[in-house]
Chain A
Amino acid sequence: MSFALDVFSIVANGAGVFFFVAGIVGLLRFPDALTRLHALTKADNLGLGLVVLGLLTRAGSLLGALKLIAIWALVQLAGATAAQLIGRAVRRKGPAV
């Protein structure tokens, strides 16, 4: 059982890291601010979500697991808000040169 949990943890964390790397590649390669934002928010949501999922099996206690999920939810909220604000600023003032 613990072996299966370890494999699950490694796979989920690996997938999370993949999404973060993909997000960073997007941030560096995409042509303008809005598409770069798109890449970053995907990395935050899915990448961090998968990393948290992978760490849940190692949380040790129910409270620890709930805290991890709360961190993910808070980062979602903050990330989505920041992305909206930046997107709005870009639309209003045009992209930064």
Chain B
Amino acid sequence: MSVRLALDIGLALLVFAVAARTIFARGAFEAVVDYVAYGLLLSIVWIRLFAVDVALTEDAIGGGVTGVLLIGAAARLRSAETVAAEETPSGSLRVFAACLCLLVTAVLAGVVLLLPDPGPTLAPQAAEHLAETGLGNPVTAVLIAYRAVDTMLEKVVLVLAVVGVWSLAPDRFWGGAPGEARAARPEPTLAFLAQVLPPLGILVGIHVFWAGANEPGGAFQGGAILAAMWLILMMARLTEAPPVGALWLRLALVAGPAVFLAFGVAGFVMASGFFSYPPGFAKPLILFIEAFMLLTIAVTLPMLVAGPPRREPRP
């Protein structure tokens, strides 16, 4: 058995063990911590499968942003947790749920194992037409050129998620800012990190976006890094979440999907149809669209974490 195979098997066992820990964790907070570790392990699995783009996304979204969201949720649910623990469903119901989960897992495993060898793939076609997009990274080409509608709709879903969070606000807070009023003194340790890290983080975020045209990376991963920088600033209480009524915030939230959709419709005039790019101009257009998506992602994710408005708007 080669060293690599041994490492891969070890990694797979570790993923299973952490997944089991996540399920059997007693409290919500423990489960979230395990889930974040699970996301980080999963990104190593993606790297071993040579899917670096997916690994970056898993790290930034699965481990990072989802982790922050879930920790926030666990903290808010802490007071209700003891009540929920008393309402544990009966043994037979839990066995039934476990059986259903096992069934889904077995079906998924069966589908993967029964795939013909070599599996059905569109990879050759994607690689063949890569030159026409002017991009070097086939994943970015699939996201912004081949399956542009899907990616645009994904961003719409993100904006809808923010609308969903905001709609939890009581009427009198509508238009106000999420989160508590800014504390007089920022948390000193976190404030230090929040002052040192963002210059570097913003540079890395934009680099990941820019490099995404030709190498692993892209608007989503870069946007998540930028979002993390803003989140650190808010957590250190060096800055507050903006009021949800702010015009610049609204514009930034819809900029990505709106610009994407505008160019998609413009494809009817400039090129051969909906979401098609004029030959020769594909790459600059794609980067232009992606820049706005970067902005939208960098604003959407912190707004999801910040939660619904909890203060009355300033007159």
A interface, CB within 8 angstroms of B: 74, 77-78, 81, 84-85, 88
Task: Indicate if the CB atoms of B190 and A81 lie closer than 8 Å.
Answer: yes
What's the minimum C-beta distance from A75 to chain B, rounded to whole angstroms?
A: 12
Interface set of B (CB-CB < 8 Å, partner A)? 187, 189-190, 192-193, 196-197, 200
Question: Contact: B189 with A88, CB < 8 Å?
Answer: yes
Please tell me if the beta carbons of A77 and B189 are within 8 angstroms of each other in the complex. Answer: no
Contact A85 B196 (CB under 8 A): no
In the complex, what's the smallest C-beta–C-beta distance from A71 to chain B, in angstroms?
A: 11
Please tell me which one of the listed residues B190, B197, B200 contacts residue A85 in the complex, with CB atoms under 8 A apart: B190
B200 touches A81 (CB 8 A): no
B197-A84 in contact (CB<8A): no
Tell whether, in the assembled complex, residue B200 and residue A74 are in contact, meaning their CB atoms are under 8 Å apart: yes
Q: Count of A-B contacts with CB under 8 A?
A: 15
* B189–A84 touching, CB < 8 Å: yes
Instruction: List residues of chain B with CB within 8 A of the CB of A84.
Output: 189
Q: Which residues of A contact B196 (CB under 8 A)?
A: 77
In this complex, what residue of B is CB-closest to A83?
B189
Contacts of B189 in A (CB 8 A): 81, 84-85, 88
Note all chain A residues with C-beta closer than 8 A to B190: 81, 85
Q: Tell me, in angstroms, the Cα distance from A77 to B194 when the chains sit together.
A: 11
Residue of A nearest to B194 (CB): A81
What residues on B are CB-neighbors of A74 within 8 Å?
Answer: 197, 200
How many angstroms from the CA of A74 to the CA of B199 in the assembled complex? 12
Q: Within 8 Å CB of B193, what residues of A?
A: 77-78, 81
Closest to A88 in B: B189
Chain A contacts of B192 at CB under 8 A?
81
| 14 pairs from A and B in contact (CB 8 Å cutoff) | A74-B200, A77-B193, A77-B196, A77-B197, A78-B193, A81-B189, A81-B190, A81-B192, A81-B193, A84-B189, A85-B187, A85-B189, A85-B190, A88-B189
C-alpha spacing A74/B189, complex, angstroms: 15
**Which one of B189, B197, B200 has the greatest number of beta carbons of chain A within 10 Å?**
B189
- Having A81-B189, A81-B190, one finds 6 other A-B pairs with CB under 8 Å, namely A74-B197, A77-B193, A78-B193, A81-B192, A84-B189, A85-B189
Could you say which residues of chain B place their CB within 8 Å of the CB of A77? 193, 196-197
| 8 pairs of A and B residues whose beta carbons are closest in the complex | A84-B189, A81-B193, A85-B189, A81-B189, A77-B196, A77-B193, A85-B190, A81-B190
